[in-house]
Structure 1
């Protein structure tokens, strides 16, 4: 990271150093913990009184004479959007990356929120907006920094600015059309490249700059805490690594009905070789330009993506007490909405599940440890085949 900079408003107070220490996450659903309700993917209909072959971590409540699931046991109050009353809130899970990481601080705080874009991170003075009943995230950070000694700010943002969920939905739609479908890559490739080259990196830089400015105003030098951007893990493998073949009878194919990964091979390879790396390259360049840290996650789930032949789904013999082991499981949520096997919330689809979030937490733990004393820490996080979260490790980026 850059050398410590003096605050433009006052000297760094000794009181900051004397406070309890805290680490905080900002940004979108990939760091908020959306998808953390689940561990693995079971191709069965959702039930209110079972753990879904050991995949559903939501508590079962049968106290009122009829059973119901309690997702609040995983997401807390962040499960519901207070503005709409609908169950599509910030989805901050109990195993979110910032919560599952071992950071050696007194408190670990999650301000990230499902659906957030860069405007939701900016402070109000810079055009930031209220989102799902909460102040702009940088304003929440300011309040935290006044009471606690901030040691880590981890930021995941840009996916929603790029319309990543719309790209996913477009790819799914084209596959479900079967022989009548086209390729979503043809529709989105040029637009995505244009956004990655201009508008979106400018927005991310603005968010980074406002976070830095806010921390300086609260008496922090740039070297007093670790500040890093992170990229996104790929939700799906390359087409050659699918367990199920593509099919022009797509709505009846195993790739759709069982795997929950309804994508054409061509679109899959485009996403894996262009979309995910393109976003990662853009974020890495922003981190370089802004002199902050960077954690590359694009290959973190290799062998554990949805429908990856190196992973497997649970069976009816699995339970929460005997789940499919993390070393064998998919770490991403499959398509969990639509005509077949709707489970939980649509927004949870293609987000890290509890296994994936704990793996990312291990990445963050290692990153924070390695970042101490570094001017500009830049690492990629990888998994070890045959191991779970314990096998996550870093490799320095050149």
Structure 2
């Protein structure tokens, strides 16, 4: 990326925030403008892995036993299909932002703000989030060829190309990429494939330090969101800013339906290539650590939605749920209640979808997160825990 686009993006943010600091005049949309909601941040809210409704393991081609929502024009046995990921991700598939049609924000039909409930039309649920984004991508750096997310938000607030909207809810999911969570997972998978644990005390201490360093970046991001809104003429009582945590995506010890035995068949039938001990560390250390950093950064300026247990019983490889099986189709897929809500880890298979989709909420998981957000949006609460389904 050249310096010129980055400088231009930074200048845009400076103008937005500078207006708020200098008291420059700005006019927010009037209260009779259509109300809108916006999502910012990373893959856990952009809709990454929304292509999949459950997991069809092994050598299931075609529609992958009905799990591939990008499959179309299939033959009678669903063994051969055409595939078009843009049916799910739209044009965002081109740069890998992967904003899916089932993303969390698409499930918010109304929001309650300062005693009033506002209906939200489908066209007014804006998804600016991008898979892989860090806090920097939200408020100060261009990413994947796109402008800073808050610059994009500012354009929306001004009604560029769509007309004025009154933004009533902003939802932010960010921080996982700042601590390189995907790299942590990659390390654990690599260790599993060589019969070793990844959660050594040295590595755990390094991850704890990453999480400890995250709070200041989150605080700066939250302040920048408010600065953008204030520069557009909004008062704090006119909208809600929600920062969400991350869900547990792997079952802990005793809840994994697969044995801890690595072989090709294990992976091809859906086994998770991570030891229970390492999954326990992620579930009991990393996820709570991120929630703590998010809660501290939010302070009294943003609301917090705790998603830790949102997938309980439907994690990847969990007991009590299953993979899709032969005979299930896109029109008659594995029932949501019976399926995993997290995209598989397809090691060493590469025939289905993208690696970047691994371990993200699939279409069923996004529906669950959407229901959590919709429930929170219609309360007067400032904190919300989305418990076991």
Give the TM-score normalised by structure 1: 0.83
**What residue is the counterpart of 2:120 in the other structure?**
105
Give SS of 1:241's match.
coil
**What residue is the counterpart of 1:382 in the other structure?**
387
Q: Is 2:36 aligned against 1:22? A: yes
Q: Is 2:155 aligned against 1:155? A: no
Question: In 1, distance between residues paired with 2:100 and 2:166?
Answer: 24
**What residue is the counterpart of 2:198 in the other structure?**
183
Contact 1:228–1:293 (CA under 8 A) maintained in structure 2: yes
Contact 2:197–2:275 (CA under 8 A) maintained in structure 1: no
Contact 1:229–1:295 (CA under 8 A) maintained in structure 2: yes
**What residue is the counterpart of 2:303 in the other structure?**
293
Contact 2:46–2:97 (CA under 8 A) maintained in structure 1: yes
* Structure-to-structure mapping, 1:22-101, within 5 angstroms: 22-45=36-59, 47=61, 50-60=62-72, 68-81=82-95, 89-101=96-108
* Structure-to-structure mapping, 1:252-271, within 5 angstroms: 252=264, 254=266, 256-271=267-282
Give SS of 1:23's match.
strand
Contact 2:28–2:157 (CA under 8 A) maintained in structure 1: no
| Alpha-carbon spacing, 1:190–1:299, altered in 2? closer, same or farther (3 Å) | same
Contact 2:245–2:307 (CA under 8 A) maintained in structure 1: yes
Q: Is 2:174 aligned against 1:167? A: no
| Alpha-carbon spacing, 1:186–1:334, altered in 2? closer, same or farther (3 Å) | farther
Question: In 1, distance between residues paired with 2:24 and 2:156?
Answer: 18
Question: In 2, distance between residues paired with 1:204 and 1:257?
Answer: 39
Q: Is 2:323 aligned against 1:313? A: yes
Q: CA deviation at 1:60?
A: 2.4
**What residue is the counterpart of 1:84 in the other structure?**
none
Contact 1:46–1:341 (CA under 8 A) maintained in structure 2: no
**What residue is the counterpart of 1:133 in the other structure?**
145
Contact 1:205–1:290 (CA under 8 A) maintained in structure 2: no
| Alpha-carbon spacing, 1:14–1:139, altered in 2? closer, same or farther (3 Å) | closer
Question: In 1, distance between residues paired with 2:48 and 2:228?
Answer: 27
The number of residue pairs the alignment matches comes to 350
Question: In 1, distance between residues paired with 2:200 and 2:82?
Answer: 40
* Structure-to-structure mapping, 1:178-217, within 5 angstroms: 178=195, 181-197=196-212, 199-217=213-231
Q: CA deviation at 1:68?
A: 3.1
Q: CA RMSD in A?
A: 2.0
Q: CA deviation at 1:317?
A: 2.0
Question: In 2, distance between residues paired with 1:284 and 1:342?
Answer: 39
Give SS of 1:233's match.
coil
Give SS of 1:18's match.
coil
Runs of 4+ in 1 over 6 A off after TM superposition: none
Segments of structure 1 that go 5 or more residues without pairing to the other structure are 1-6, 82-88, 123-127, 385-398
Question: In 1, distance between residues paired with 2:57 and 2:201?
Answer: 30
Give the TM-score normalised by structure 2: 0.85
Contact 1:37–1:353 (CA under 8 A) maintained in structure 2: yes
Segments of structure 2 that go 5 or more residues without pairing to the other structure are 1-19, 111-118, 160-164
